[in-house]
Structure 1
Amino acid sequence: MMITLAEYLGRRLTQAGVGHLFGVPGDFNLTLLDHLTTVPGLRWVGSPNELGAGYAADAYARARGLSVIVSTYGVGELSCINAIAGSAAEDVPVVHVVGAPATAAVVGRRKVHHTLADGVFDRFEMAYAQVTVHQESVIAERATEQVDAVLLAAMTHRKPAYLSIPQDLATLLVDPAPLDRPLTPAMPTFPVSLSDRFAAASRPVIVVGHLVARFGLGEAVLAAARQANIPFVTTLAAKGVIDESEPLFRGTYAGTMVDTGAFEQVAGADLVIELGVVHSDVLSGFFTHRQPDDQVIQVGAELLPAAVRALGELSARHRFASVAAAPAACVPAAVVDPHEPLTQDGLWATVQDWLPSGTAVLADTGTSFWGAASLRLPDDTVMVGQPIWNSIGYALPAVLGQGLADPGRRPILFIGDGAAQMTVQELSTIAAHGLTPIIVLLNNRGYTIERALQSPDAGYNDVASWDWSYLASALTGDKVEYRAARTAAELRHSLEVAASATDSLVLIEAELGRYDVPPLLRVLAERNEVLKG
Structure 2
Amino acid sequence: MSAPDERPATVTLAAYLGTRLRQLGVEHLFGVPGDFNLDLLDGLAVDGPAWVGSPNELGAGYAADAYARSRGLGVVVTTYGVGELSVLNALAGAAAEDVPLVQVVGAPRRAAVETGALIHHTLADGDFGHFSRAAAEVAVAAETVTAERATEQVDAVLLAAVTHRKPGYLAVPQDLALAPVDAAPLARPLVAHSDADALAAFEARLTELLATAQRPVLVVGQLVPRFGASDDLAKLAERHGVAVVTQLSARGVLDPGHPAFAGDHAGAMLTNGTAELVEAADVVVHVGTALTAELTGFGSHRRPDAGTPFLAAAEAGFGATPVGRVLFRDALAALDRALDARTGPRFERSAAVPASVVELAGPLTQAQLWSVLAGVLPTGTALLADTGTAYYGALGIPLPADTVFSGQPIWSSIGYALPAVLGQGLAEPGRRPVLVIGDGAAQMTVQELSTIAAAGLAPVVL
Same fold (TM over 0.5): yes
1:126 to 133, 158, 173: 133
Q: Does 1:244 align with 2:237?
A: no
Residue in 2 aligned with 1:281? 293
Instruction: Give the superposition deviation at 1:427.
Output: 0.3
Residue in 2 aligned with 1:308? 332
Residue in 2 aligned with 1:108? 115
Moved more, 87-96 or 303-312: 303-312
Superposed counterparts of 1:172-321, under 5 Å = 172-189=179-196, 190=199, 191-192=201-202, 193-294=205-306, 296-303=308-315, 304-321=328-345
Paired amino acid for 2:70: A
Instruction: Give the superposition deviation at 1:260.
Output: 3.5
Q: Does 1:338 align with 2:360?
A: yes
Q: Does 1:437 align with 2:459?
A: yes
CA offset digits 1:259-278 (Å, max 9, x no partner):
44111111100000110101
Residue in 1 aligned with 2:321? none
Residue in 2 aligned with 1:392? 414
2:445 to 409, 420, 423: 423
Instruction: Give the superposition deviation at 1:343.
Output: 0.7
**Structure-1-length-normalised TM-score:** 0.80
Residue in 1 aligned with 2:389? 367
SS in structure 2 of the partner of residue 170 of structure 1: coil
Taking the aligned partners of 2:370 and 2:282, their CA distance within structure 1 comes to 36
Instruction: Give the superposition deviation at 1:317.
Output: 4.5
Change (3 A) 1:60 1:405: same
SS in structure 2 of the partner of residue 378 of structure 1: coil
Residue in 1 aligned with 2:22? 14
Taking the aligned partners of 1:314 and 1:132, their CA distance within structure 2 comes to 34
The answer to whether the 8 A contact 1:28-1:72 is kept is: yes
Instruction: Give the superposition deviation at 1:100.
Output: 0.3
SS in structure 1 of the partner of residue 232 of structure 2: helix
SS in structure 2 of the partner of residue 311 of structure 1: helix
Paired amino acid for 1:308: L
The answer to whether the 8 A contact 1:110-1:119 is kept is: yes
Instruction: Give the superposition deviation at 1:294.
Output: 4.8
The answer to whether the 8 A contact 1:210-1:277 is kept is: yes
Residue in 2 aligned with 1:160? 167
Paired amino acid for 2:50: R
Change (3 A) 1:142 1:435: same
Taking the aligned partners of 1:432 and 1:241, their CA distance within structure 2 comes to 31
Instruction: Give the superposition deviation at 1:200.
Output: 2.8
Taking the aligned partners of 1:433 and 1:177, their CA distance within structure 2 comes to 35
Superposed counterparts of 1:422-501, under 5 Å = 422-440=444-462
Taking the aligned partners of 1:294 and 1:260, their CA distance within structure 2 comes to 27
SS in structure 2 of the partner of residue 141 of structure 1: coil
Aligned length: 437
Residue in 2 aligned with 1:488? none
Unaligned runs of 5+ in 1: 441-533
Instruction: Give the superposition deviation at 1:342.
Output: 1.1
CA offset digits 1:160-193 (Å, max 9, x no partner):
0000000000011011000000101223343322
SS in structure 2 of the partner of residue 27 of structure 1: coil
The answer to whether the 8 A contact 1:240-1:383 is kept is: yes
SS in structure 2 of the partner of residue 13 of structure 1: helix
Unaligned runs of 5+ in 2: 1-8, 316-327
2:90 to 83, 89, 98: 83
CA offset digits 1:16-60 (Å, max 9, x no partner):
0000010000000001001112225x1100000000000000000
Instruction: Give the superposition deviation at 1:107.
Output: 0.3
Paired amino acid for 2:68: A
SS in structure 2 of the partner of residue 233 of structure 1: strand
Aligned-CA RMSD value? 1.5
The answer to whether the 8 A contact 1:233-1:249 is kept is: yes
The answer to whether the 8 A contact 2:63-2:422 is kept is: yes
Residue in 2 aligned with 1:452? none
Residue in 2 aligned with 1:470? none
SS in structure 1 of the partner of residue 170 of structure 2: strand
Taking the aligned partners of 2:352 and 2:277, their CA distance within structure 1 comes to 11
Residue in 2 aligned with 1:455? none
The answer to whether the 8 A contact 1:157-1:301 is kept is: yes
Q: Does 1:171 align with 2:178?
A: yes
Taking the aligned partners of 1:238 and 1:336, their CA distance within structure 2 comes to 27
Residue in 1 aligned with 2:4? none
Moved more, 344-353 or 9-18: 344-353
Residue in 1 aligned with 2:42? 34
Change (3 A) 1:323 1:69: closer
Which has the higher relative contact order, 1 or 2, with Cα contacts under 8 A spaced 6 or more apart? 2
The answer to whether the 8 A contact 2:267-2:296 is kept is: yes
SS in structure 2 of the partner of residue 200 of structure 1: coil
Instruction: Give the superposition deviation at 1:324.
Output: 4.5
Moved more, 222-231 or 203-212: 222-231
CA offset digits 1:230-268 (Å, max 9, x no partner):
010000000011212101100101001024411111110
The answer to whether the 8 A contact 1:23-1:53 is kept is: yes
Instruction: Give the superposition deviation at 1:296.
Output: 2.4
1:4 to 2, 12, 15: 12
Residue in 2 aligned with 1:473? none
SS in structure 1 of the partner of residue 149 of structure 2: helix
The answer to whether the 8 A contact 1:400-1:429 is kept is: yes
Q: Does 1:322 align with 2:329?
A: no
The answer to whether the 8 A contact 1:261-1:326 is kept is: no
The answer to whether the 8 A contact 2:386-2:408 is kept is: yes
Paired amino acid for 2:417: A
The answer to whether the 8 A contact 2:424-2:433 is kept is: yes
**Structure-2-length-normalised TM-score:** 0.92
The answer to whether the 8 A contact 1:228-1:320 is kept is: no
Residue in 2 aligned with 1:407? 429
SS in structure 2 of the partner of residue 164 of structure 1: strand
SS in structure 1 of the partner of residue 273 of structure 2: helix
The answer to whether the 8 A contact 2:210-2:341 is kept is: no
SS in structure 2 of the partner of residue 162 of structure 1: strand
Sequence identity (%): 57
SS in structure 2 of the partner of residue 298 of structure 1: strand
